[in-house]
Structure 1
């Protein structure tokens, strides 16, 4: 997962100083149907077009400038406040009629914002360092530092300094509809102008932005420390199904452990236990005492907790209170989600073009309308190909499918290899994060980059041990370096950590190219998070090949197609749950954590029963609510199925070209265009589910 800029005013820089959202204005088509009253924004002194002011400027600069003057004055007036001073004096002094001066102003602002964004990104990264990285016990002050956003005041400060108004007066602020219609014909200079003004499309007060940062930091830390000691899960007979010392984070490691058990003769029992654990987390019936506690044993089926025998406790187990009363977690999970919602609602009045977090997520961050995204997801979810692929899985397993097959991994190259074998290999090769960093030039050459390019990329990426599951953190200025974070245990990097590292390396390579290779740093990045996920999937799909354990052929290509289809089907429903939960919160703004829990469970169950129960059974399971992104990265999940669809289109193009390294670089270097423009330039066609569906039908017929 990429950690890209949380400021949704910039499409290219969507995470953790640098995750989720971005640029521009909107057509408003994804706003919720019934929007509750929100906190009022401060009064703004706004005028329509100021005809008399426009007339004076036209008289001064000539009729040829009328259209630019009318547009610029209107854009400034929309955000001008009484305390900003004399609007007429400002526009008279700062309207730029000369083309050469316009070019110089654009270049100067581009240079300034690269440095401003870049250094603030570095400061934020350093403040989050203890909470993001596995550097030992946290100090009480670390959570407070992580919650501080050094960039919270920047936009308002730039408005007060009139810099934002200079941009709005002299360069065009476009709507999503305009960008989608006219974008294919934009020059690179026009795209840079669009991204410049996009960052000033709204004026959210610093204290409101800071509250969102605090909610995000608290949720991130909560998820980063949500671990389960698997040796201390017991069944009705008191058996321990998992090895001593196995500590898995929810949901990422739990899911990956489940997927790894398809090669295990006793895997079904382990998978069923993990499914039960996941359900307990979603319903918040999990006992609080068992979270990250190796000193208690827990039967997730009966939900009983007892002190673990001394001989079963790991030698290096941290000290934890035993707490065997079985008291549940008490909806902490949903309190964190509500904190995100309340912080988002406070931003709503300041963004009239996208007045909900949902609208900002689709119209501003993804630059794809919600209706179109949901239609793409439902096209996959309701495809008649689903039961046909499910039948293939059922034949391979030799049994009726169960809910855990949501994460069936039998199409992957590592499906027949025991997890222990892969763990031994990766731990030996990567005893620490530094060993992975040293091996990156070889890995990148194995992916098709030249020796020189692989060296350049490796020199521009830093590798760190993650406290959580892992992420990639971008750089925002040339001269700084993206960070690759993955979990590295005491015994070295296990296969799960390695698999995540290869994925994050894909993000990092994109981040290097999309910063260092673009002609305008205002265009740095990719259209949205789905695109960086897609490019990361391209790397991740080759993780076994990079270990020297798989070679592509016709059979493996068929397996790749079926795997991509099944993964897209899996995450599409999860994304719909995430979206529906946010609609519910807007419809119930006074919800409590308990009522939100009930709603999430109900939405997850209804979505499961509609799309998944006919294939996998498990009527009424809340399993689709397990994804940690719902808590730490709200409204992010739709980027994964979109990323799978985009990745598949990219893979099809790469196979035709046969030049992964050169084509990856060309595509990533386009910068932050709108999704369909980027995709058409990259592969020859806009974003679509059709290539994956057609290829799946062909694979099933082989």
Structure 2
């Protein structure tokens, strides 16, 4: 896909999912071309991380029996179950400094149904405002680092790294608001939500989300440290550009047009995909692959990163000062010195900074005591083992070599590693991207032009005129500094933001494709905020679901551009494309998960050791699943995704999103219109994945719809 993740603030379930941007610096100190590192094993089975010394606060020594008995005597036997659960929840987070637990429980336990209902209603309203305004403050702090508003001032990275919400959860504990919630509303486990959730009322679901936001009590300084680390990694990635006109081959030839500046990894990958329609596409693709490999192994010369004044041969790694006539007229000021010293493992320093910050939170999260557990148990609400099983079902599918043979027939050659991103199945894949660029740049010279076209686009997606206008009025469009993202809103009265890159010539087809994807996120975000019955249920089950709904939009981008409606042939192409992309993304997700297990097994690793581990893990996954089909044994390409650096453990959401998207598409093929069904699904809110999917399509999350569709497509049946 063409878009990075949406920025989703979700305190109610998983504080560590809050994502911010910040700054990074690069070092130009010389180093060997292929630096050595202390070897560490990459293939060992994951083991439980060694626990950091547990804070005394997480080991309550309170005798709760007396307070339970007192509350039952005061409120009656009918409330015993609520009392016993609430007191245990309260005690699990109470610290000696919080004062008299018994007195607090006697004063704050609510047994009167009317008072309990009023308490719930008041808290729901308050938290909508608190969450919403905190998100808006964070958005403002990152305004200049997120958006393409000119060069960053030296102060901007510092501003962007500040997280105004870092202290909120601890403040709510210190003010004892959190303890009122824990005493009166149920803190549920994933097992309870999965097994009992289908029979819950919507109010019960909202209560579960209300209590769930206080399942951890992470000190504010640790929250802030994590925000700073993620912020620094985010801006490092947002400014990681390659000037393609300044890549030269052995003949000194320039294969890419002047002015082409591509961010890693999104634009590099998308350019590689677009090159299938170019007569010299194979040459360009092999050059891009070499650039990617240099980035992963950190053998890229630091001086060439985002520098249009240097020429670089990624095959030999030679650097030269670019001739004046080749330098772009508006090239930013950069040092023109032919320095071939490699980048100093900054990619992996940023990743380690996030890991170390997250590890400090582990002792404060007894329900999910590792970042891995928080990503799956709290964030996705899908166990890691189940996610791996779904991905393995795709990776090991006998359909893979059959689809590969069809690709080989189309290309007229044996497949190569870059064909993991084969784009020939995509409708319009044979059309030169330059033609699509001309269309989008004329139509969208700036972000405002895209914003003004939203009502027409939304009508094209099947929404009524009134609904299209209503949605468009609640979405804001900005020109992104990075590849693009969708930022949700968390209170009614605020609006989601659509960000995509708009170059000086206008919006390229890459930018347009990203914008349509992000629009899918935004439409979901509007519906799941303004259309949901409880604001505590704002959103969808996890990021894979918002990705899936965004894929539904993105798949229709050319149709929305006026390039023809889908027919049986184009639908067949789309299915095969979805399968191939899911296969590729299942591989990158496996790498992402394995790297985090490695980090917990080697908590004291250096950046160089982490680099070697990532290289080894990506090679292992490639050789197991991809080399038998694409060759290139030992290729590191699966580690190129920037999410691994700045969005910890996000990558599994992409293949899950494809699986969910196909399941939704299978349903949409039987039901309609698309607009009404999209709204019905998106307004169901943040319940568990299987419950949401059963409501949406009639069945829990599964890989079977994609595999069924692919089997039919290979037989020529759309």
- The aligned counterpart of 1:163 is 177
- The aligned counterpart of 1:582 is 596
Distance apart, 1:49 and its partner CA? 6.3
How many residues in Structure 1 have an aligned counterpart in Structure 2? 691
State which of 625, 628, 637 in structure 2 corresponds to 1:611.
625
1:41 aligns with 2:44: no
How does the TM-score come out when normalised to structure 1?
0.97
> Is the 1:230–1:243 contact (alpha carbons within 8 Å) kept by the matching residues of 2?
yes
Measure, in 1, the Cα distance between the counterparts of 2:682 and 2:659: 17
- The aligned counterpart of 1:4 is 7
1:138 aligns with 2:152: yes
- The aligned counterpart of 1:23 is none
- The aligned counterpart of 1:520 is 534
1:381 aligns with 2:384: no
Distance apart, 1:60 and its partner CA? 1.0
State which of 635, 653, 657 in structure 1 corresponds to 2:649.
635
Distance apart, 1:403 and its partner CA? 0.5
> Residues 435-454 of structure 1 correspond to what in structure 2 (within 5 A)?
435-454=449-468
Distance apart, 1:476 and its partner CA? 0.6
State which of 73, 92, 99 in structure 2 corresponds to 1:85.
99
Measure, in 2, the Cα distance between the counterparts of 1:561 and 1:445: 24
Measure, in 2, the Cα distance between the counterparts of 1:5 and 1:315: 38
1:551 aligns with 2:554: no
- The aligned counterpart of 2:693 is 679
1:381-432 C-alpha deviation (Å, 9 max, x unpaired): 0000000000000000000000111000111112011010000100000000
Distance apart, 1:56 and its partner CA? 1.1
Measure, in 1, the Cα distance between the counterparts of 2:707 and 2:437: 34
Distance apart, 1:603 and its partner CA? 0.3
1:250–1:535 CA distance, 2 compared to 1 (3 A):
same
C-alpha RMSD of matched pairs (Å): 1.5
1:39–1:47 CA distance, 2 compared to 1 (3 A):
closer
State which of 365, 385, 395 in structure 2 corresponds to 1:371.
385
1:553–1:292 CA distance, 2 compared to 1 (3 A):
same
Measure, in 1, the Cα distance between the counterparts of 2:267 and 2:53: 40
Measure, in 2, the Cα distance between the counterparts of 1:115 and 1:13: 20
> Is the 1:527–1:674 contact (alpha carbons within 8 Å) kept by the matching residues of 2?
yes
1:698–1:532 CA distance, 2 compared to 1 (3 A):
same
Measure, in 1, the Cα distance between the counterparts of 2:700 and 2:10: 26
| Equivalent position SS for 2:311 | strand
1:108 aligns with 2:122: yes
- The aligned counterpart of 1:28 is none
- Can you give the 5+ residue segments of structure 1 that lack an aligned partner in the other structure? 20-30
> Residues 116-265 of structure 1 correspond to what in structure 2 (within 5 A)?
116-265=130-279
1:700–1:276 CA distance, 2 compared to 1 (3 A):
same
Measure, in 2, the Cα distance between the counterparts of 1:39 and 1:603: 30
State which of 605, 609, 621 in structure 2 corresponds to 1:591.
605
- The aligned counterpart of 1:488 is 502
| Equivalent position SS for 1:612 | helix
1:103–1:17 CA distance, 2 compared to 1 (3 A):
farther
State which of 555, 561, 573 in structure 2 corresponds to 1:541.
555
Measure, in 2, the Cα distance between the counterparts of 1:111 and 1:14: 22
> Is the 2:147–2:478 contact (alpha carbons within 8 Å) kept by the matching residues of 1?
yes
Measure, in 2, the Cα distance between the counterparts of 1:52 and 1:198: 26
Distance apart, 1:6 and its partner CA? 5.1
> Is the 1:53–1:88 contact (alpha carbons within 8 Å) kept by the matching residues of 2?
yes
Distance apart, 1:40 and its partner CA? 3.8
Measure, in 2, the Cα distance between the counterparts of 1:393 and 1:457: 39
State which of 436, 441, 444 in structure 2 corresponds to 1:422.
436
1:45–1:697 CA distance, 2 compared to 1 (3 A):
closer
> Is the 1:44–1:82 contact (alpha carbons within 8 Å) kept by the matching residues of 2?
no
> Is the 2:182–2:211 contact (alpha carbons within 8 Å) kept by the matching residues of 1?
yes
Measure, in 1, the Cα distance between the counterparts of 2:120 and 2:337: 61
Measure, in 1, the Cα distance between the counterparts of 2:59 and 2:429: 63
> Is the 2:57–2:93 contact (alpha carbons within 8 Å) kept by the matching residues of 1?
no
Measure, in 2, the Cα distance between the counterparts of 1:13 and 1:276: 34
Measure, in 2, the Cα distance between the counterparts of 1:355 and 1:395: 49
1:299-357 C-alpha deviation (Å, 9 max, x unpaired): 00011000001111111111111231200001010000000100000000000111110
Distance apart, 1:170 and its partner CA? 0.5
- The aligned counterpart of 1:268 is 282
Measure, in 2, the Cα distance between the counterparts of 1:509 and 1:12: 24
How does the TM-score come out when normalised to structure 2?
0.95
Distance apart, 1:371 and its partner CA? 0.3
1:6-34 C-alpha deviation (Å, 9 max, x unpaired): 55543699553699xxxxxxxxxxx9623
- The aligned counterpart of 2:338 is 324
Distance apart, 1:37 and its partner CA? 3.6
